[in-house]
Amino acid sequence: MITKQYTKENELENHYLIIEIDSSNYLKSIKEENQCDNSTHILAYGYVDHEAGTSINFEAFCTYSADSFSIDKTFEELGKRSMLRYDMVSSFDLEIVEDNELEKYNLPKYPTWLESYRREDLELFRQRTDILHLKTQGYTDDLQVYLLPKNEATQPELIWCRIEKTNINNNQDILVGTLLNKPHQNFGTGMGEPIIIMLKKQEDQYIAISHQSLKEAQG
């Protein structure tokens, strides 16, 4: 077998994918549009767009069996580029191409176009399975965080943040994130501002909390 099944969204990043064309009417329509009548699958590449979330880029139409695949026509040859977001990708029948098969098919580990999207500084954060319950499907860089009150009149409030930095002070549980929505209460910080986030183990799972903005932390 040259592929493996995928079970979690974060397994798609930085991997080639084999997608069965017959698993989607949309894929069948683009096969017909591009006159790739004999193709059975699409070769794609999974990546994360920091703003738009988990995505795939179509690389080629191909013919696939359990032990091999052959490229029929690349999207570069067609003069096209096609990207899809996770809400659509999650409905496809797809498998992950094993990394040890890339050389056989002359596939680079990282396509050249990926350079503008790749965030090596966030890759460890994205691969953490112990905080998946704090994320929403399709947006692996976004995290649900409790803003903690600075006075008795304010209650803890749950908000969304987009993680911008990790491993603060060499601690993978301290992060910097940007507020994605305006808090209903006055915490002294607003939408679009960076805050310090701490991951804390509570009983058997993590919660994310914040009690200060980055500006406050820097004094």
Of 214, 213, 165, 160, the residue nearest 186 (C-alpha):
213
Q: How confident is the model over 41-53, as a mean pLDDT?
A: 97
Q: How confident is the model over 111-124, as a mean pLDDT?
A: 94
Predicted TM-score (pTM) of the model is 0.90
Q: What is the pLDDT of residues 82-114, one digit of tens each?
A: 999 999 999 999 999 999 999 989 999 999 999
Domain map (residue ranges) of the chain: 3-118, 123-217
Q: What is the pLDDT of residue 159?
A: 95
Q: What is the pLDDT of residues 59-75, one digit of tens each?
A: 999 999 877 889 999 99
Q: Is 114 exposed, middle or buried (0-12, 13-18, 19+ CB in 10 A)?
A: middle
